[in-house]
């Protein structure tokens, strides 16, 4: 049972993996679909099912996609994310009442329905309910951003993955509210140096530090 109480304006680490450690994206199309769900389900106003047009729908951002239209208030702000082949990590800021719970319910049920119908399977795709942890200090927030942005390197995962790291080194991508992290550094180069030092710290201490060990999804 999850004991975390979610509050507007607070930050949370949200993570889960496939049931029996199975892959949750079979290919890039599945990965893109999950990311699409992350974006389109993040709305206070319900959008209904997006499965029906999932295979032949125009690309993200096209004029006929919901992403190309002006949308209302979000449920959460994404600060960082990482999608690995059998698990994901989110760093979220809740911006609407019950935003995380509503968003994660939509994401889990919506993507599972898509995946099950496409692959002619039934049952749970994810290992129970998602896990969560409240981020209660800024140092934790910064190191968690490093952990998530570099998650595939930490797990030595060279398979299918997608993360917000590219967005943190570019001025063009705007999916994440990255100013929460980057405004604490003089420039992107300084943040990159922090990533390097934090990465070394995580690798050196992941077996010793309980806080870091609790983040791992082997």
Quick check: 96 pLDDT over 80?
yes
Residue 2 lies in a domain: no
Residue 198 lies in a domain: yes
Residue 111 lies in a domain: yes
Quick check: 14 pLDDT over 90?
yes
Q: What is the mean pLDDT of residues 40-64?
A: 61
pLDDT at 64: 40
Residue 4 lies in a domain: no
- The enclosing domain of 66 has a CATH number of 3.30.70.1290
pLDDT at 169: 85
Q: Which of 23-32, 118-127, 148-157, 190-199 has the lowest mean pLDDT?
A: 148-157
pLDDT at 3: 64
Residue 6 lies in a domain: no
Residue 3 lies in a domain: no
Write out the two tokens for 147.
């952990």
pLDDT at 133: 95
Q: For residue 178, what are the domain limits?
A: 11-213
pLDDT at 206: 61
pLDDT at 86: 92
Burial (CB < 10 A; 0-12, 13-18, 19+), residue 211, is: exposed
Residue 206 lies in a domain: yes
Quick check: 116 pLDDT over 90?
yes
> Which position has the higher pLDDT, 50 or 212?
50
**pLDDT tens digits, residue range 133-165?**
999 999 999 999 999 999 888 777 667 899 999
pLDDT at 55: 44
Count structural domains, the chain. Answer: 1
16 Cβ contact partners less than 8 Å away, ≥ 6 residues apart: 87, 88, 126, 127, 128, 129, 130, 131
Residue 100 lies in a domain: yes
């Amino acid at each position: 049972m999850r004991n975390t109480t979610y509050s507007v304006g607070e930050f949370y680490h949200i993570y889960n993996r496939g049931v029996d450690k199975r892959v949750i994206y079979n290919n890039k199309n599945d990965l893109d679909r999950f990311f699409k769900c992350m974006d389109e389900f993040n709305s206070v106003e319900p959008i209904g099912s997006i499965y029906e047009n999932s295979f032949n729908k125009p690309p993200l951002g096209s004029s006929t996609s919901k992403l190309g239209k002006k949308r209302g208030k979000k449920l959460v702000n994404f600060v960082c994310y990482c999608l690995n082949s059998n698990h994901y990590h989110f760093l979220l800021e809740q911006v609407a009442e019950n935003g995380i719970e509503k968003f994660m319910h939509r994401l889990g049920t919506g993507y599972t329905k898509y995946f099950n119908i496409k692959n002619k399977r039934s049952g749970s795709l994810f290992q129970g309910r998602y896990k969560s942890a409240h981020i209660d200090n800024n140092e934790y927030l910064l190191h968690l951003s490093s952990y998530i942005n570099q998650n595939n390197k930490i797990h030595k995962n060279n398979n299918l993955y997608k993360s917000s790291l590219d967005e943190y080194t570019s001025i063009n991508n705007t999916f994440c509210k990255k100013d929460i992290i980057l405004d604490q550094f003089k420039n992107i180069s300084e943040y990159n140096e922090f990533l390097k030092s934090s990465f070394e710290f995580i690798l050196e201490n992941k077996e010793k530090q309980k806080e870091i060990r609790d983040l791992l999804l082997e």
